Amino acid sequence: MGYLCGLITFTIPGCRMPESLLIGMTYNIGLLLALGLIYEIIVLRWHTTQTLFWQVPLGLILGVIGITVMLTPWEFTPGIIFDTRSILLSIAGLFFGTAPTAMAMAITAGFRTYLGGEGALTGVAVILASGLIGLAWRHFRKQSLAKMPWSELYLFGLVVHIVMLLLMLTLPGAAVIEVLTAISLPVLVVYPVGTAMLGALMVNLLRSEQTEEALKASEERFRLLFNSSNDAIYVFPLEEHNEPGNFVEVNDMACKRLGYTREELLTLSPAKINTEKNRGLITAIMRRLKQEGQVLVETCHLHRDGRVIPVEINARLFNFNGRPSVLSIVRDITERKRAEEDLREAVLRQDAAVRAGNVGLWDWNLETNRVHYSTEWKTQIGYEEHEIGDAFEEWQSRVHPDDLEPTLNRIREYITEARPQYQVEFRFRHKDNSYHWILAQSGVICDEAGRPIRVLGSYVDITEYKRAEEEIIRQHEALRGLAARLAEVEEAERQKLARELHDQVCQNLTMLCLDLEIIKGKASQESLDNLLSRITDVTKEIEHTNEITSTIMEGLRPTVLDHYGLLGGLHQLASKFSQQTGIAVDFLGDELTTRLDTPLELALFRITQEALANVAKHSKATQVKVFIEEKEGAFRLNIADNGIGFNQEKVVRPKEGKKWGLMVMTERAIAVGGHCLIESQPDQGTRVAVEVPR
């Protein structure tokens, strides 16, 4: 007699095999296949096994299937029955999880206990072992069940039913040997295969559902992207004669941009949303699309309220539901058109400015060494548009020989260091062979790697500016010479006047004093008391006049400079200033290694004299610091006070009749080749800084 499981039959001589076995096993297998259907419907379709609400019904269903399987068993002896509950519960543990399996185990174990018999305990043990092995296998398996191969499913079934056979040892007495002899081979051959087949069905269902879920997720992502796009998207069929049909799909942006609802837009065709001017082009565009498969065009769409929207359409031909259709991605280019118009206006303004300013432009491609020279660039040097090509040598051959190498070196340095701006002046040959001064300014453009690839710049003819600059320099030098000469003449006149005062006025005053002393000595006391008193008064006045004259002579020509040099003169000047004004003067600095030239000493002395005079008149200072320094071939003089200072921006200009002292100090410094800086702020004092070359 044979044991049948699925399509496999085995014959074992000497064993009692009731005919009901075939019917029971077939019915059991049918119920187990129903389990696969339930798995698909409940677990995979509804996606609710993670909630207690659905796990409880699922456990009940599994328990009912288990009871149904147990109602059609093969009864070995009264109380010892066999069915496919081990397959059911192990697969349940593997694929359904803890809660449903535990409920199914409880229901089937309770029912087996209810059936009773000497094999009841063993039957319950098989139920518990099968379910627990399925749960353990599920827990310790690292990969997804959808990736479970046939070989692993067979191994899983073999393990479950080896444990089942081992549990047969719990049967009472002599029945153990008889049962194991009768069922071992069928169980080890048929049950693992049945387990693997049912497991394979579950895996295939799981894979199918995962594929369906992935497809749904993909569709959801596509729909999300479709409706999240900033561009309008339309899908429409291509009808006969290359005419577009009504839209079959549109995204949210398409509806929003044109002001229609989705339902309204699906009743329209591309011709309905195009301007009347462009409708005649649609057929031609569709014909080109059919030939090339993809087109990129610009046109205008109509908003529901009549507004015209400039758009760029990227259309692609594809097959949709067996029909040639068009996927059209439409971008609103209103801002781009506005920017293009602004750019066009800017270019026109720039061209007008370039022509008005006679500015030449050039664009040098460093990779090809070709240069685009603008029309104005060529006109600057007397050429027509066609007379100069785009070679770099067109520029190089016209640079003045004395300026070529320095200019090329500047260009190489500029390109190598990739500086943002570059400016250079050089002489450039005109068509009439004269040389014009050119101011070149440029900027560099680099690639993504930071490597310079282009240089763009401008040319301006600054010949007239250069001539004016040279004339200014010439006149400035002439003025410096004149100022120096005036200073020399002034000092000479001062010296001459001081000498005449000394040689004539002072000597005469001295002789007059002597004569008065002689008269005073010869006059008698009695007769000339009144006369002597008058003579004494005159003598004092003459002596006072002599002192004033000496002071004037010292101011006109400080003789201390001739005897002791600049430092001695400054010390004496500072000392007299402190005595006359009560303002303390701190003199700082080192002795000079050698004396300065006479014009330098006179200029610095007069500047200090003027600065101290300004301090006494205006500053209300209590202290002045005079600092001298000789460094790096230059002599520096600083005079700083702690007075009230002044606002330099509000200083009255010399032409208005005031503040000549500040100008005189500056001019004296310039006359000897130096410069004078005057710094002051209200309530922060004043500083006069002079620097002259040795």
3-state secondary structure 542-569: HHHHHHHHHHHHHHHCCHHHHHHHHHHH
Q: Are residues 456 and 375 in the same domain?
A: yes
Residue 683 Rama label (left phi>0; alpha psi -120 to 50; beta): left
Predicted confidence band of residue 687 (pLDDT cuts 50, 70, 90): very high
Is 580 part of any domain? yes
Cα separation, 503 vs 498, whole angstroms: 9
Q: Please give the residue range of the domain that contains residue 95.
A: 2-212
Q: Which residue has the higher pLDDT, 74 or 18?
A: 74
Q: Are residues 190 and 69 in the same domain?
A: yes
Q: Are residues 31 and 176 in the same domain?
A: yes
Average pLDDT for the chain: 79
What's the CATH number where 631 sits?
3.30.565.10
Average pLDDT over residues 328-357: 79
In 209-358, the DSSP E strands lie at 232-237, 249-250, 294-302, 308-320, 323-332
205 CB-near residues (< 8 Å, 6+ apart): 36, 39, 40, 44
Is 222 part of any domain? no
Is 223 part of any domain? no
Predicted confidence band of residue 686 (pLDDT cuts 50, 70, 90): very high
What's the CATH number where 447 sits?
3.30.450.20
Q: Are residues 346 and 295 in the same domain?
A: no
Lowest mean pLDDT of 159-168, 220-229, 554-563, 681-690, name the range: 554-563
Q: Are residues 293 and 358 in the same domain?
A: no
Domain termination site, one of 552, 584, 599: 552
* pLDDT of 248 over the 60 cut: yes
Structure tokens belonging to residue 520 = 């005073």
Q: Total domain count for the chain?
A: 5
Q: Is 320 exposed, middle or buried (0-12, 13-18, 19+ CB in 10 A)?
A: middle
366 CB-near residues (< 8 Å, 6+ apart): 415, 452, 453, 454, 455
Q: Are residues 206 and 246 in the same domain?
A: no
| H/E stretch holding 422 | strand 422-429
Is 218 part of any domain? no
Q: 327: which strand partners?
A: 235, 316
Cα distance from N-terminal residue to C-terminal residue, the chain: 134
Pairing relation of β-strands 584-589 and 370-373? Answer: unpaired
Structure tokens belonging to residue 426 = 């050089």
Lowest mean pLDDT of 100-104, 554-558, 568-572, name the range: 554-558
* pLDDT of 657 over the 70 cut: no
The count of other CB atoms within 10 Å of the CB of residue 500 is 12
* Exposure string over 294-304, b if 16+ CB within 10 A, otherwise e: ebeeebbbbee
Q: Are residues 364 and 450 in the same domain?
A: yes
Angstrom CA distances, 448 to 364, 399, 413, 442, 453, stand at 18, 33, 21, 20, 10
Predicted confidence band of residue 154 (pLDDT cuts 50, 70, 90): very high
Q: Are residues 278 and 362 in the same domain?
A: no
The three-class DSSP label of residue 381 is: coil
Lowest mean pLDDT of 270-279, 298-307, 413-422, name the range: 413-422
pLDDT tens-digit profile of 73-82? 777 777 677 7
Q: Are residues 263 and 157 in the same domain?
A: no
Is 579 part of any domain? yes
Is 221 part of any domain? no
The count of other CB atoms within 10 Å of the CB of residue 311 is 22
Domain termination site, one of 212, 244, 277: 212
Q: Are residues 131 and 102 in the same domain?
A: yes
Is 217 part of any domain? no
Domain termination site, one of 431, 461, 491: 461
* pLDDT of 630 over the 80 cut: yes
Is 457 part of any domain? yes
Q: Are residues 314 and 351 in the same domain?
A: no
Q: Are residues 150 and 34 in the same domain?
A: yes
347 CB-near residues (< 8 Å, 6+ apart): none
Q: What is the pLDDT of residue 552?
A: 61
Task: Name the CA radius of gyration of the chain, rounded.
Answer: 58
Q: What is the pLDDT of residue 409?
A: 84
